[in-house]
Structure 1
Amino acid sequence: MPTLLFIAYRHVENRVLAAVLAAGFQITLAQARIFQRIGPQGTRLTELAEQAQVTKQTASALVDQLQAAGYVERRPDPTDARARLVCISPAGADAWAVAEAELQRVHQEWVAHLGPRAWADLHRSLLALREITDPYA
């Protein structure tokens, strides 16, 4: 089962990255793995590193690259003057929109392939598993 979940995940990841690159955005897979974890109000670097399961130094280097490309911005954290948030920039939001559109296409293909009932059952089951396995849920 874990291998099957991994294959499905990598398929989606590859499709989304290909769509973003085809739209003219320059982002690597490693950068995308950090970028996709940025919350709507921004996320602290330490949280991004933890969620992506990379060192803080690796996350920092990837965020530096994303910032240099114009996809993210660092802003003061309004809840802690010592901390900074990594936030999606307007250019990053454009890339995010391309990624979301591709995710929707994959979703529609999978629903068509499995059927609406099987898709709903799978989705419900995965959500239930996330409750016991994902500390960020």
Structure 2
Amino acid sequence: MNIGLLLFIPSREVENRILAAVTAAGFDITQAQARVLMRVGPDGTRLTELAEAAQVTKQTAGFLVDQLEKAGYVERVPDPTDGRARLVRVTAKAEEAVPVADAEMARIEAEWEQHIGKRRMTQLREALEMLGEITDPYR
């Protein structure tokens, strides 16, 4: 099995489990919406940047942001650096889902550590962080 697939399968599992935990806690959100939402920066993000980071078209990102806005997870606000532009910013409602997602992530990491051992889990994290240095354009 190639390394891309070996990385993708656990990543997909993390996404699926976190989404399941968040939706079970009463947050009505889809995987596509979550992928856009988790890319909104702390001070807000322009729609074009969200589209690029989520690897979707600007139209798709706009549609997903419209849905998120209607559900109360994001708001559009003026960009203080450019009066013509708008920023997408998360709301308090979206921030309420963060502890749910964080708790599920902690459970996943604990399960993985139990399965592969503490030393390997530490090595895995270190290796992935190092790979992020050369693969993450948003770092």
Q: Shared fold by TM > 0.5?
A: yes
In the alignment, the residues of structure 2 paired with residue 90 and residue 103 of structure 1 have an alpha-carbon distance, to the nearest angstrom, of 21
Counterpart check, 1:119 vs 2:121: yes
CA–CA separation in structure 1 for the residues paired with 2:66 and 2:114: 40
Scaled by the length of structure 1, the TM-score of the pair is 0.94
Q: How does 1:1-137 map to 2 (within 5 A)?
A: 1-137=3-139
Q: Distance in 1 between matches of 2:30 and 2:82?
A: 31
> Deviations along 1:67-104, whole A, 9 cap, x unmatched?
00001111112222222111110111112221122112
What are structure 2's unaligned runs of at least 5 residues?
A: none
Unaligned runs of 5+ residues in structure 1 are none
TM-score (normalizing by structure 2): 0.93
Deviations along 1:10-60, one digit per CA (max 9) or x if unpaired, are 100000010011001111111011011111111111111001100000000
Larger displacement relative to structure 2 (14-23 or 111-120): 111-120
Distance 2:71 2:98 in 1: 14
Q: Aligned residues: percent identity?
A: 61
C-alpha RMSD over aligned residues: 1.1
